[in-house]
Amino acid sequence: MLRSAALLPLLAAAPALNACAGGDDDAVTFFFQARPEEAKARLFIIDEFRRRRPDIKIRTIMSGPDPLQQMLTYCAGGKCPDVLMAWELLYAGLADRGVLVDLREFLDRDPKYAARLRADGYATLRDTFLWKGGQYALPEQWSGVFLYYNRKHFAEAGIRPPTSWSDAWTCDEFLTAAQALTRREDDGRTGRWGFVDAWVPYYSAALFGMNNGAEWFTPPVQPTRTNLGDPRFAEGLQFYADLAVRHRVAPSVGDRQSVSAQDLFRSGRASMLMGGHWLYSEFTGRDDLDFDVTVLPVGPHGGPGAITDVGSTGLAIAAASPRREQAWEFVKFATGPEGQSLIAASGLFVPVLKSAMNSLGFAEAHSEIRNLDVFTEGPLHSRQLAVTPLWGKVESLLERGCNRVLRGAAQADSLAGQTATDIDELLRAAT
């Protein structure tokens, strides 16, 4: 997942973005970030759009490791892409400064299509890109996080994990499983971890807090305060930290520097991995890895059922684009029933429309997965982390405070002090 600290330099230069001009030709430019396998799926969708609409040219711009800074460079040079990939944690700053088109400009024009999209979609995903009443992107994929698990390891340990979000396990059950799955060598080293995390650690820790009955921010959209000081949130965050610091069923912060979580899971040196669907292509089709998916654990104050983050990316249109109409036709295709059916069959994304989610193509693309409800029910059990144009600044405060807890240098309830105060002051100043 993209680390959103890159938002800071972009927002600092936001006025320059408002003056972005189009490209030199008549092609719609599409800027996106993707791993190699994901890029293949996007190019397949683009090729299919070209086949159906030969009158509209699409030119792709692949992002480097810092997509927002790269986009800024293009726009400063007068070549702002027409269609932009949008991230749930980052788009609000662009929308707030008029960089993105309010897509109601197009949806209001076609009320029948808009109604069809609403009926077939998920409000949790669509409303993630709703900022101050405007729809600044349409969701294109869901990628909330969950748990991958090694079926062989679980069978050997006699563990039966939950199969759906509504039937989650408790934190105590999860910890007992992680302890049973962890293996120590004779020299004291860990030969197999019960749990590893392939996401951003303090995001993951926050989800454990949210699964103990407390929001991370209130309200999640345009928040005015953080709930780091809520005892329920602190308890969930501390549970996550203790998996490594106290119980030693997960790698420490130092251990994580030497090997990636996905490598540990892929090689059988970890039994559970926390991550999103973006990792699915790395694990599927391997003769040496028999895996499935399950849901996150729920704390004593959480439930009913487990929750995850929205984890959605969307497609937006640059306000300065001289090709708005052509750009809309592509966005409409990629986020609508036609494009979403292609996404479903690709197996590389989880679609955002119910018709595509429940299609035969999606099931066939995930034929190795028995607990398919973890994917198909995911959007209904998703919650926003935070949608604010200040996210880059908020995250820098979170990272500094939360990382002390994750290293074992502080307890989670200490975040109710200076860290929470600084974040609340920042959020209040913006209201």
Read off the tokens for 39. 């890029």
Cα separation, 321 vs 59, in Å, equals: 14
**Which residues, in sequence order, are bridge partners of residue 141?**
313
pLDDT tens for the 431 residues of the chain, in order: 443 433 333 333 333 333 343 444 789 999 988 877 778 888 889 999 999 999 999 999 887 777 666 766 776 666 789 999 998 988 998 898 888 999 999 999 999 999 999 999 999 999 999 999 999 999 999 989 999 999 999 999 999 999 999 999 999 999 999 999 999 998 889 999 999 999 999 999 999 999 999 999 999 999 999 999 999 999 999 999 999 999 999 999 877 777 899 999 999 999 999 999 999 989 998 999 999 999 999 999 999 999 999 999 999 999 989 999 999 999 999 999 999 999 999 998 999 999 999 999 999 999 999 999 999 999 999 999 999 999 989 999 999 999 999 999 999 999 999 999 999 999 998 76
C-alpha of 417 from chain center: 28
Torsion, CA 36, CA 41, CA 43, CA 49, rounded to 10: -170
Q: How far is Cα 109 from Cα 124, in angstroms, rounded to an integer?
A: 23
Contact 46, 40 (CB under 8 A): no
The answer to whether the pTM exceeds 0.85 is: yes
Domain residue spans of the chain: 4-143+310-357, 146-309+388-429
**For residue 35, which phi and psi values (nearest 5 degrees)?**
-70, 165
Residue type at 235 in one-letter notation: E
d(CA 346, CA 365) in angstroms, rounded, equals 7
Please tell me if the domain spanning 4-143+310-357 has the same topology as the one spanning 146-309+388-429: yes
The CATH superfamily of 146-309+388-429 is Periplasmic binding protein-like II (3.40.190.10)
Q: How far apart are the first and last CA of the chain?
A: 29
The CA distance from 331 to 113, in Å, is 13
Domain 4-143+310-357 has CATH 3.40.190.10: yes
Q: For the purposes of burial, counting CB atoms within 10 Å of the CB of 180, is it exposed (0-12), middle (13-18) or buried (19 or more)?
A: middle
